[in-house]
Amino acid sequence: MFTRNKLTVVLWCALTAWAQEASFDTRSSVKIQFPPDSPVSFVSADWGESRASARGSAMVVDLRTSLTLKNSSASRVRGITLLVSAQEVTPGGKASVSVPSLNVGSGETFPVRIDLRLLKPLPAPGSPLVTVSLDGVLFDDLSFYGPDRLHSRRFMTVWELEAGRDRQHYKSVLAAQGPEGLRKEILEVLSRQAERLRLDVAVSRGGRATNLPAEREVQFAFLRFPGAPLEPLSGLARVAGNEVHGPSVEVRNASGRAVRYFEIGWIIEDPQGKSFLAGSVSGPGTETMLGPGGRARVVQEASLRFSNEQGKPIAVKGMTGYLSQVEFADGSIWIPSREALRDPKLAAAGLLSAEEQRLAELYRRKGLAAVVAELKKF
């Protein structure tokens, strides 16, 4: 937990001549701010091509840096999330950086890369442009440290559970089929990455475009996973061309435990039968619990407009939902098994975990031996 007596490392120079673009090593200031009992500590920073420039009454801060942090705890660090803030209330004034799938032992250092553009009002000379603080650290036993303002405990835990699930799969393949069997699996991931259709999603709170066809109601189809703690009951949205309005999903708690949060993954299909990952619908939130046997309907009060990478609209013909995660009242989390995720609909949409993509990228850059060595670290 943060305290009033915070240990800070302040790296800054006097700010002058705001009207000119300036690199961070001569005219900027950044405050690295961790609490005194933080399990990670700041070691150094390479500010690289970081720059700041005035744009009217505001500053544009391009932060391009690599921080070196140290694990000061006795446990192994599995993930970290940093809050990077230039201004709390200004749009574009803050962002976060998360690093999953770490394996950092006590006393070891590790890098965290930050590549962000932030906006803030013109500060007083001498005040920091940007503050980098700790939102959370996840350890190998899934314990957590930090204020968790960004709910990083939840999403880092999901990432680590998925990573552990997938690493175990690839280690089993390696044990049963040898290096060439593992290579085949990794090449399949690379193939699915290359074939995955990209989707751009624009979200708005306004009304629908006037030049679209008449709206129609489209029902969600659902993938059902054996043993899942929640049962999807129904879902629908109003669809007009490439726009979807107010998607809603109703679920029933089929477990004997209270549920704090869940996510329903969302796939859309176009008239040609192509599938696209379109995000998720979530609920009920951190303040409301869904008791055993209880039902909840969550509605996304927004309009979503879908297009491909070239900006061409993608008409929505159908929608499919699947349960992607559940957080219980005690903080424990359920995710689907690899067997459940073998569903052809998910494969057609190109669903891949962050760990699968990380291992595939490691193979692409350094080869099979590097992937084998990485798996043996865990």
Do 206 and 336 have their domain in common?
yes
Residue 190 lies in a domain: yes
Do 139 and 222 have their domain in common?
no
Do 271 and 347 have their domain in common?
yes
Do 290 and 345 have their domain in common?
yes
Residue 55 lies in a domain: yes
Bridge partners (DSSP) of residue 85 are 94, 131
Average pLDDT of the residues in 9-32? 49
Q: Is 273 left (phi over 0), alpha (psi -120 to 50) or beta?
A: left
Cβ contact 164:100 at 8 Å: no
Render pLDDT for 285-320 as a digit per residue (tens, 0 to 9).
666 799 999 999 998 888 899 999 888 999 999 999
Residue 368 lies in a domain: yes
Residue 323 lies in a domain: yes
Average pLDDT of the residues in 337-345? 92
Task: Report the domain count for the chain.
Answer: 3
pLDDT at 6: 38
Do 313 and 363 have their domain in common?
no
pLDDT higher than 60, residue 186: yes
pLDDT at 123: 66
Do 86 and 185 have their domain in common?
no
Cβ contact 33:131 at 8 Å: yes
Of 325, 323, 321, nearest in space to 261 by CA = 325
Do 85 and 166 have their domain in common?
no
pLDDT at 17: 38
Q: Could you tell me the CATH number of the domain that includes residue 230?
A: 2.60.40
> How high does pLDDT run on average in the chain?
87
HSE (CB half, 13 Å, CA atoms) of 204? 9
Average pLDDT of the residues in 169-175? 97
Q: Hey, CA dihedral for 285, 286, 289, 293, is it positive or negative?
A: positive
Do 176 and 223 have their domain in common?
no
Rounded Cα distance, 267 and 307, in Å: 14
Do 227 and 344 have their domain in common?
yes
Render pLDDT for 193-251 as a digit per residue (tens, 0 to 9).
998 888 899 988 755 555 567 889 999 999 999 999 999 999 999 999 999 999 999 99
Rounded Cα distance, 96 and 114, in Å: 9
Q: What residue type is 304 in one-letter code?
A: L
Do 43 and 136 have their domain in common?
yes
The answer for residues whose C-beta is within 8 angstroms of residue 213's C-beta and 6 or more apart is: 240, 241
What's the angle, vertex CA 88, arms to CA 84 and CA 92, rounded to 5? 70
Residue 2 lies in a domain: no
Rounded Cα distance, 197 and 272, in Å: 13
Could you tell me where the beta strands, DSSP code E, fall in 195-354?
200-204, 216-222, 230-240, 243-253, 259-269, 275-284, 295-299, 303-307, 318-328, 333-334
Render pLDDT for 82-120 as a digit per residue (tens, 0 to 9).
999 988 776 788 999 999 999 999 999 999 999 998 888
Look up the domain containing 327 and give its range: 200-351
Residue 1 lies in a domain: no
